[in-house]
Structure 1
Amino acid sequence: MVAAVFHSPLEAPAAGPDLPPVAKAMTASTPTATAAPAAKKPTRDFRSFWLTVVPPVLGLALLVLIWHLIASSSGSGIPKPAETWAQAVQVFSDPFYRNGPNDQGVGWNVLASLQRVAIGFGLAALVGIPAGFAIGRSVFLSRMFNPLISLLRPVSPLAWLPIGLLVFKGANPAAIWTIFICSIWPMVINTAVGVQRVPQDYMNVARVLNLSEWKIFTRILFPAVLPYLLTGVRLAVGTAWLVIVAAEMLTGGVGIGFWVWDEWNNLNVSSIIIAIFVIGIVGLLLEFALIKLASLFTFEEVKA
């Protein structure tokens, strides 16, 4: 009685010394199951850590070291980092206190400045973005307004503040006016440049299809101009945050700029340094938020 043993193609019998040569050859030609590779242990990416975390930490450490060396020199009058840190702990222990209209915590001052920036920037966006589209679409308007923009854009922001005080008769609207007039130019210029750089083939297709002006704007211009527009918005927000600090130093009231000037009048240099860091951190957060917003609406990677 002969017994036949059938093997699965994945289970080839082992070729031993008792098999005939033909059987050994057939066994060798049979596909065998390959053993699954052993799972590798996850390796830590120290290169990414080195390039991402270490450089900023070293930069901050260098800044603190230079600050300490300058503060340690005789007659500088600048407080040391440890003294400023102690003052910062005291300032941020109650950032929203109120002891009168001109004595409020740093939190209220930052919120007041952000409110002025939001109003002035919002008005500039309502005017500047449509104006940029119109200037970019019309050769006549472009040649008409380009000399005016070139003339007014380099004017110092503080030069517009007296005009605002004269017209609006108040410090708060004058500061908002200064933010408006200084942050409108980046949005107008970048939007107009984006419209002018739309490929002519797109506009030719729109003419062939006899698209309305509204469809040209929504289907062609706006998606193509959006990266330029968002770049102008980022530049405008940065300009607005720079301007409001200088404007509040001159107009007074509540705001981070007024807080800096008030601390200088009280000869509290530690609070001035704290205000400098607060201004920088708020500006950094605004920039980071706009980068994230831009990355949601554009396919290209948006870099700082």
Structure 2
Amino acid sequence: MVSAVFHNSLEAAAKAARGGERTRESSATHLIADSAHQKGATAQNDMTSPAISAPPVAPPTARRQWDASALWLGILPPLLGLGLLVLVWELVSMGTGASIPSPKDTFTQAVQIFSDPFYSKGPNDQGVGWNVLSSLKRVAMGFGMAAIVGIPVGFLIGRFTFLSRMFNPLISLLRPVSPLAWLPIGLLVFKGANPAAIWTIFICSIWPMIINTAVGVQRVPQDYMNVARVLNLSEWKIVTKILFPAVLPYMLTGVRLAVGTAWLVIVAAEMLTGGVGIGFWVWDEWNNLNVKNIIIAIFVIGIVGLILEYALIKLATAFTFEEVKN
């Protein structure tokens, strides 16, 4: 009897334990299902809820219209300026009784000249291409020597107060002198027209580079120099690591001014010295009373100067990491 009761009790306890396990399994199953249901509902809500809107993108038609308007704003003003120049030129030609050639006649002559710009029929009869190249060669030589001398001198003057006080009166005295006043000195010293022209370019191009470089050195923040003094840097380190990067924008501005001055000076110098060059070509055409070629030469001089200026602006922008405006 006792064993039967004990056996029945054990079976009841086992059944109860199995029932509890089923209950826990059922509860866990319901919890997992409820969690999955909640996640699905959340995902559905996320899909249906409004997201942060991206900035509106202009349609292709609007972008094309904006590009076209920007293009016209970049092209239309220069075209209007050139059109105004041609109009005034035509009116002056009509008012002077064709003493000044009209734009049409000058254009016809220009087409003829530029059809063969590199002909050579002797030292005094060469195409406009050879004359421009000869002038550019002289400018490159005089300007190059001015850069080699002027930039280091500008660094020294800006770096040392004693040298600044020593050279400032000399620069103020010599800088305003007309370029043509230096030409006879060059002819006297060098005994030749070509070196005299190069000398004139050199002496007139050196001042912008000296002045701008010296001003750039003097405007370097004093904190930079204090740090260099604390670190006990050598003078070479100060120049290459501190002064040169800070002075570069000023130096390139001086280079731009100098090359413009050099191109102006070479035309005047070649008018007086003769030989091959764009200035000599202008003077020779004046002696032949060929006004059309003189006007063409004026445009050639302006276009070459514009190209030089544009190239130096791009160079300054590339090295100074800022927009350089003309």
Using the size of structure 2 for normalisation, the TM-score is 0.83
| Secondary structure class of the residue paired with 2:48 | coil
- C-alpha change, 1:148 and 1:9, in structure 2 (3 Å) is farther
Q: Secondary structure at the match of 2:323?
A: coil
1:92 aligns with 2:79: no
Compared CA separation, residues 11 and 202, structure 1 to 2 (3 A): closer
1:238 match: 260
1:30 Cα deviation from its structure 2 partner: 5.4
Q: What corresponds to 1:223 in structure 2?
A: 245
Task: Find out whether 1:256 has 2:278 as its counterpart.
Answer: yes
RMSD: 2.1
Change (3 A) 1:150 1:40: closer
Partner of 1:284, secondary structure, is helix
Structure 1 position 47, deviation (Å): 3.9
Q: CA 1:64/1:204 → structure 2, altered by over 3 Å: closer, same or farther?
A: same
C-alpha distance in structure 1 between counterparts of 2:42 and 2:317, whole Å = 50
Amino acid in structure 1 at the alignment position of 2:59: K
Q: Which has the higher helix share?
A: 2
Deviation at 1:303, TM superposition (A): 1.0
Aligned length: 285
2-side partners of 1:262 and 1:246: how far apart? 13
Is 1:148 matched up with 2:164? no
Report if the CA contact (8 A) 1:11-1:33 is conserved.
no
Partner of 1:206: 228
Shift of residue 50, structure 1, vs aligned partner? 3.6
1:106 Cα deviation after fit: 0.3
Q: Residues 80 and 132 from structure 1, CA distance in 2 versus in 1: closer, same or farther, beyond 3 angstroms?
A: same
The question of 1:162 aligning with 2:184 is answered yes
1:233 maps to amino acid? V
**Structure 1's 11 and 177: CA in aligned 2 closer, same or farther, altered over 3 A?**
same
Structure 1: state its 5+ residue gaps.
13-28
| Corresponding residue for residue 279 of structure 1 | 301
Q: Distance in 2 between matches of 1:172 and 1:30?
A: 83
| 2:148 aligned with 1:126 | yes
Contact 1:10 1:32 in 2 (8 A): no
Which residue of 1 is the match for residue 292 of structure 2?
Answer: 270
Tell me the equivalent position of 1:111. 133
Counterpart of 2:193? 171
Distance in 2 of aligned mates of 1:274 and 1:219: 48
**Amino-acid identity (%):** 76
State the match for 2:318 in structure 1. 296
Q: Is the 8 A contact 1:9 1:32 kept in 2?
A: no
Opposite residue 93 of structure 1, the aligned amino acid is S
**Partner residue of 1:32?**
48
Displacement after TM superposition at 1:8 (Å): 5.9
The alignment partner of 1:95 has SS state of coil
CA distance in 1, matches of 2:130, 2:40: 78
* Aligned amino acid, residue 220 of structure 1: I
Aligned: 1:41 with 2:59: yes
The question of 1:53 aligning with 2:75 is answered yes
Residue 192 (structure 1) aligns with: 214
Corresponding residue SS for 1:281: helix
**How has the CA–CA distance of structure 1 residues 72 and 212 changed in structure 2, closer, same or farther, with 3 Å as cutoff?**
same
Equivalent position to 2:84, from 24, 37, 62? 62
In structure 2, C-alpha distance between the alignment counterparts of 1:107 and 1:89, rounded to whole Å: 14
- The CA distance in 2 between the partners of 1:10 and 1:258, in whole Å, is 87
> Aligned with 1:293: secondary structure?
helix
Q: TM-score, structure 1 length as denominator?
A: 0.89
